[in-house]
Chains A and B, each alone.
Chain A
């Protein structure tokens, strides 16, 4: 077992980094555990050294913020205050009995076959989010990728998903993804957004409170215009076509009610479709620890504390809101942890700036959430043979049968009766579709193992012993 640390931070994206640095700056010994090769998370993802040397990427829009975080991390690592465990995939955080702190269990090694356990007095969960996938006919064809996946491969390996790309779905991620693809040399055949411009106008007051964030969107839109890409608002991709791989998509307009407008369908040729419908928080570790959730988000107080003593959470896991919100929340969490580990109550005035940013950015995120919505009839547009669960190859028709003929009424009973959600991804991908087809709200699934664990690692877990 690794040496006991004061604070274990799970995730080295914006929230985890900000939290680790804020705590380290106040003398807390931190172990930062992260699945990636380098710190930064998805937002600050950069190519590995070898890739970057060959072909330097365009500068990150938040280069300055990144440099500040990276330099501070390097400093604390050199001083021994922060230990950064890269390529460590946490599968469970265990609360040890009798207030003996926490055991963070991770997998490492080339095939994630080796078990590592980090003991800590406090835990900050900064596990980020993952993409919401809404199936439609043809979405499993090779060439269809998630918007975030396309971005990750472009940022991390400087690889394009195709030559002619359609970017589709809904949410603020589509603009930067399309702009990034165009700048890297792809032809963006269409940018298809199901939200309408009116929805944006209705939320104008909340959005106007964030001139910087709105300007960011305008900036991406302007960059896209240079490549001749004009976003198609209130449109959707109805179907992806192709024999063995993607050859074209059908794009259609939506009416005011968010339903398909008849007679508007047209085909757009492409060899890649990057589709995204926003993010969902990663809450598996928090749920297994017993942290209360609110909807799909980990519930936290003003200090970013969960309701489990010793466990803090920050960033997308507490509600999707972007990198700036994650930085603010992580910073507050780190300062709170430093005070609480010393046995004192923190003075919230010390983080007043971050607190104001947090309030503003949460309001902004709530406004965006209301604007960006999938088409209202997306559930009905899944045909019976549209695959819902890729791992177990379950089509929408079988889910409908389980609900209609066999009496299933929630995601768990659908899973039991169809196997949807029983495979490798444990329902992360099919969860929204199953919930839609079942007619119930999306609830986080209980996943005691946040990722698959070799039985040998389970069998070799350290026996807890008194210390």
Chain B
């Protein structure tokens, strides 16, 4: 049988783009397929956060640090088109209690190689002149950055030179007699390759099922509010300390914590809500009400500012909040690169690098153990827990 390419990446979001780029740079011939458009899924609904600040020491933080360095290099290479902004993150605490917890986290992050600077109330006002007065203090994370995620995905795919097939729904994963993958079947024909990368994000569980295996990716809905364009009023990515707890929570109910940032294009982006209610795109006014109230709480000037739009995205969520990265021992030739929850843009580059190393048989820069795709067992068995990590 004639091969179409060396590897098929399913998913044209940020993670799929990065997998394609690093695989191509490792000398592989790559096809990217997506049933929708470039950045049509969660990538297009995200804010483009490249964060280290919201991660506790552990494998995700290591991946974030690897990714942050790679993003900075890519931004140099791709130029202003991807709107990379190393603006830094500022986490603020309302009460002394919150602040000491924040300082504790920062201490542990510093030990893991994160730059984290304590900021007193007065310096807060210097860093963010429009921030609400009366906050207890905060921590500045200079390594936090942002890209425009859809542009980043599109330009990374373009830079990879991979063949892009959008509007191509994958209807099956082709497998040989031994069970090893042989490519994918799409509505527009078969693509033959000895390796398939599942970068289907929130829909990664469906692709795993097509390959005859199991990956419990679930959608965790989030809304973003986008304001009218403004002159630069918010300089960093600013968020409240309770965001970190929300990210790590397992609750299915609506949780919101304010995350506010300006963009180079002018609008202020406001997040972040989390709820597990399936793929329901319907507007939730309770969610946007909480987002608006939280944002005004941090930045009172926002009260008369108009929200032009809001949209929902679905974070690909795995039960232990860690992505699935690497070869699936149950299906030879299948690799997973999905389940990054709300951190997929930030973790995309490191994920792509690790996948490329796995594809070429090189030693991976990070231990893939914590990201093993088979760590959840078969459906129906009890879900794995967070392996001793503290959220």
Binding site for B on A (CB under 8 A): 92, 94, 105, 113, 288, 290, 392, 402, 405-410, 412-413, 416-417, 419, 422-424, 426, 446-449, 452-456, 458-459, 461, 464
Contacts and interface: CB of A to CB of B under 8 A. Distances in A.
Interface string B31-46: 0000001111000100
Nearest to A458: B292
A448 B311 contact: yes
B303 A455 contact: yes
Contacts of B304: 113, 454-456
B150 A423 contact: no
B305 A416 contact: no
B285 A455 contact: no
A422 B282 CA distance: 20
For A409, A452, A458, A461, the residue with the greatest tally of chain B CB atoms inside 10 Å of its CB is: A458
A458 B38 contact: no
Given A410-B37, A412-B37, A446 B311 contact: yes
Interface residues of B, number: 45
B330 to A, nearest CB: 32
B310 A459 contact: no
Contact of A459 (B150, B283, B289): B289
Contacts of A461: 285, 289
Contacts of B302: 455-456
A410 B283 CA distance: 22
Contacts of B227: 455
B37 A409 contact: yes
Given A406-B158, A413-B37, A455 B307 contact: yes
A288 B281 CA distance: 9
A179 B34 CA distance: 52
B308 interface: yes
A392 B226 CA distance: 14
Given A416-B44, A455-B302, A459-B292, A407 B38 contact: yes
A355 to B, nearest CB: 33
Given A409-B166, A413-B44, A458 B288 contact: yes
With most chain B CB atoms within 10 A of its CB, the pick from A92, A407, A426, A456 is A407
Given A407-B12, A413-B39, A455 B310 contact: no
A449 B311 CA distance: 10
Contacts of B285: 92, 94, 105, 458, 461
A424 B308 contact: yes
B391 to A, nearest CB: 28
B233 interface: no
List the 4 shortest-distance A-B pairs measured between CB atoms, nearest first.
Answer: A416-B150, A458-B292, A452-B306, A413-B37
B267 to A, nearest CB: 8
Contact of B158 (A92, A405, A413, A416): A405
A448 B283 contact: yes
Interface string B286-297: 101101110110
Contacts, number: 118
B114 interface: no
Interface in B50-82: none
A405 B81 CA distance: 13
Contact of B309 (A408, A419, A448, A454): A448
B91 interface: no
Contacts of B37: 407-410, 412-413
10 contacts: A406-B155, A407-B38, A407-B164, A409-B37, A409-B167, A422-B226, A455-B292, A455-B303, A455-B306, A458-B307
A407 B12 CA distance: 10
Contacts of A452: 228, 306-308
B165 to A, nearest CB: 9
Given A412-B40, A452-B307, A455-B227, 6 more contacts: A407-B166, A422-B309, A423-B229, A448-B283, A449-B307, A453-B307
A467 B151 CA distance: 47
Nearest to B290: A459
Contacts of B208: none
Nearest to A452: B306
Nearest to A97: B286
Contacts of A423: 229, 308
A454 B305 contact: yes
A114 to B, nearest CB: 11
A432 B202 CA distance: 31
Contacts of A113: 304
A464 B289 CA distance: 12
Contacts of B174: none
B3 interface: no
Nearest to A421: B309
Contacts of B167: 409
Contacts of B307: 449, 452-455, 458
B171 to A, nearest CB: 19
Tell which of A416, A423, A424 has the most Cβ of chain B within 10 Å: A416
Nearest to B300: A456
Contacts of B39: 413, 416-417
Contact of A448 (B166, B305, B310): B310
B193 interface: no
B225 interface: yes
B256 to A, nearest CB: 12
Contacts of B309: 422, 426, 447-449
A412 to B, nearest CB: 7
A456 B301 CA distance: 10
A419 B266 CA distance: 12
Contacts of A413: 37-40, 44, 150
Nearest to B308: A452
Given A454-B303, A455-B225, A459-B289, A417 B40 contact: no
B151 A417 contact: yes
A423 B265 CA distance: 11
A139 to B, nearest CB: 23
Given A413-B37, A416-B150, A458-B292, A290 B282 contact: yes
Interface in B209-258: 225-229
Nearest to B306: A452
A407 B282 contact: no
B368 interface: no
A292 B160 CA distance: 40
B293 A459 contact: yes
B219 to A, nearest CB: 17
Given A113-B304, A409-B166, A449 B292 contact: no
B58 to A, nearest CB: 32
B154 A406 contact: yes
A288 B288 CA distance: 14
Contact of B154 (A407, A424, A426): A407
Contacts of B164: 407
B157 interface: yes
Nearest to A96: B285
B288 to A, nearest CB: 6
Contacts of B226: 422
A392 B267 CA distance: 11
A424 B228 contact: yes
A434 B70 CA distance: 34
A417 B283 contact: no
Nearest to A288: B283
Nearest to A113: B304
A448 B307 CA distance: 11
A413 B44 CA distance: 8
Interface string B262-287: 00010100100000000001110110
B296 A455 contact: yes
A464 B285 CA distance: 10
